[in-house]
Amino acid sequence: MRILFHHRIASRDGQAVHIEELIAALERQGHETILVGPPGFTATAFGGSNPLVDRIKQAIPGALYELLEVAYNLKALLRLRAAVRRHRPDVIYERFSLFLFAGIWVRRLSGLPLLLEVNSPLYEERAKNDGLRLHWLGRWAQRLLWNRADAVLPVTGVLAGTIAEYGVPPARITVIPNGIDPTRFGSVPDTEAAKAALGLPPRMVLGFTGFIRGWNAVHRLIDFVAAHRDRLDLHILVVGDGPARDSLQDHARARGVADRLTISGIVGRDDVARMTAAFDIAVLPGLTPYSSPLKLFEYLQLGRAIVAPDTANIREVLTDGKDALLFDAAQDGALEDALLRLCGDAALRQRLGEQAKRTITEKSLTWDRNAERVVAIAEAAIGHAQGQLVGEAAATRV
């Protein structure tokens, strides 16, 4: 199968990981993929972004920037149509972006089925976090895009519920969570060797991987370490970087535990596993209620003891007491109680970690399995489209 993979991503972060891992899995299975998107994407270093886009976004009013997003469709349409004519794909697979209409336009012009991957409800997310100005346009665009795709592929059941509320028939919605390529995590050092390689002291390490934002609530780990410094020899390792880095370091200094916090900064994808291997306890202190965190699958594959919020999207993957300890995010002290329990019970940490790794296999949480499901959905959509063409041709003859 020839798959045209369309996106509008300028930064190389978790979004890029999803794209690259799924494409690699599809190609391992013998399918041909054609990546179509902003030309600077593949040249951007991991962790980087398009500086021109960043400057424009900061320099102009929000409403004008949103109109520029709509205007971008003219360029995207020309690029996408040229790719269709040159490569003659069987299907278009697109990563959902608010205001990106080129995919549904080309679907209408070419008759090619469109599969739409949805990682978040961008209208709601941007309205809450980014100060979206053109609310009416954003909500209209999201409804239009979700309803015009032949198949909508959200990463969680929670997100699938939101998509259904926009009028998309359940038969066109298939949940495909994020996954893992186990071969990337095949040869990592044991925990103590990983700590030594990173120059960490021989303490119990509480770890977090990813882009550091305020809502990640990593500051709660600092508060926990500060509160228990007299009885527990703990260290915090953050593998990643982000806008909340400085505030975390300031908070650690204010709590007197600056020497117990290490933030790696941006690291290459191939370095994530060897650094995460230093975690004794892998923590998700906070997360959005609809997400499928990439870090979660890394924690599982590495066999870490996991602490995570007891939310619906997390329960789609984890089971409390089996492969993780889940805490009630609305209850004061629940995260800290879970951490205390794990810090004091080595046998529990080992049991949860061993089961965590088995969960990957038991639930088929791999990119290869995701690719198989995408292909099956694409084949069904192609068959449906061909059936419609045959029906229309027969009706014309009559």
pLDDT in tens, 178-236: 999 999 887 788 899 999 999 999 999 999 998 887 767 889 999 999 999 999 999 99
- Of the candidates 279, 271, 285, 286, the one whose C-alpha atom is nearest the C-alpha of residue 300 is 279
Task: Please give the DSSP secondary-structure letter assigned to residue 262.
Answer: E
pLDDT of residue 195: 95
In degrees, rounded to 5, the angle at the alpha carbon of residue 99 between the alpha carbons of residues 95 and 101 is: 70
| Residue 395 pLDDT level (bands cut at 50, 70, 90) | low
As a whole number, mean pLDDT of residues 253-277 equals 92
Q: How confident is the model at residue 47 (pLDDT cuts 50, 70, 90)?
A: low
Same domain, 54 and 193: no
Instruction: Say yes or no to pLDDT of 361 above 70.
Output: yes
Q: What's the angle, vertex CA 298, arms to CA 260 and CA 97, rounded to 5?
A: 105
| CB-based contacts of 235, cutoff 8 Å, min separation 6 | 200, 201, 203, 204, 205, 206, 225, 260, 261, 262
pLDDT in tens, 62-101: 899 999 999 999 999 999 999 999 999 999 999 999 999 9
Strand order in the sheet with 114-118: 32-36, 2-6, 91-95, 114-118, 151-154
Check whether residue 169 and residue 232 sit in a common domain: no
DSSP state of 288: -
pLDDT at position 44, please?
A: 66
CATH code of the domain containing 43: 3.40.50.2000
Q: How much is the pLDDT for 390? A: 52
pLDDT value of position 256: 96
Task: State whether 6 and 46 are in the same domain.
Answer: yes
Share of the chain above pLDDT 90, in %: 79
Q: Are residues 190 and 322 in the same domain?
A: yes
- Residue 243 CA to residue 241 CA, distance in Å, equals 7
Dist CA 322 CA 106 (whole Å): 46
110 and 217 belong to one structural domain? no
Query: Is 180 strand, coil or helix?
Result: strand
Query: What DSSP assignment string belongs to 114-174?
Result: EEEEESS-HHHHHHHHT--S-HHHHHHHHHHHHHHSSEEEESSHHHHHHHHHTT--GGGB-
For residue 32, what are its two tokens? 């041909």
User: Residue 270 has what pLDDT?
Assistant: 79
Q: In this predicted structure, what is the pLDDT of residue 50?
A: 67
Q: Are residues 170 and 280 in the same domain?
A: no
> What pLDDT is recorded for position 397?
53
What SS3 state is found at 10? coil
> What is the model's pLDDT at position 130?
75
pLDDT at 396 over 70: no
Query: What pLDDT is stored for residue 160 in this prediction?
Result: 98
Statement to judge: residues 19 and 159 lie in one domain: yes
Query: Is there a single domain that holds both residue 347 and residue 385?
Result: no
pLDDT of residue 55: 81
Pair 217, 115 in one domain: no
Q: Is the confidence at residue 286, as pLDDT, over 90?
A: no
Closest Cα partner for 285 from 227, 231, 234, 325?
A: 325
The full DSSP string for 181-250 is -GGGGSS---HHHHHHHTT--SSEEEEEES---GGG-THHHHHHHHHTTTT--EEEEEES--TTHHHHHH
> pLDDT tens-digit profile of 367-389?
999 999 999 999 999 998 887 65
Number of domains in the chain: 2
The structure tokens listed for 377 are 């959905």
Q: What is the mean pLDDT of residues 241-247?
A: 89
139-187 pLDDT per residue, tens? 999 999 999 999 999 999 999 999 999 999 999 999 999 999 999 887 7
Task: Give the Å distances, CA to CA, from 29 to 24, 25, 112, 378.
Answer: 9, 7, 22, 14
3-state secondary structure at position 290: coil
Residue 366 has pLDDT above 60, yes or no: yes
Instruction: Indicate whether 193 and 278 sit together in one domain.
Output: yes
Q: Where are the alpha helices (DSSP H) in 1-118?
A: 14-28, 51-59, 62-87, 102-110
* Residues 122 and 255 occupy one common structural domain: no
Domain assignment of residue 21, given as a range: 2-179+366-397
Domain identity same for 88 and 220: no
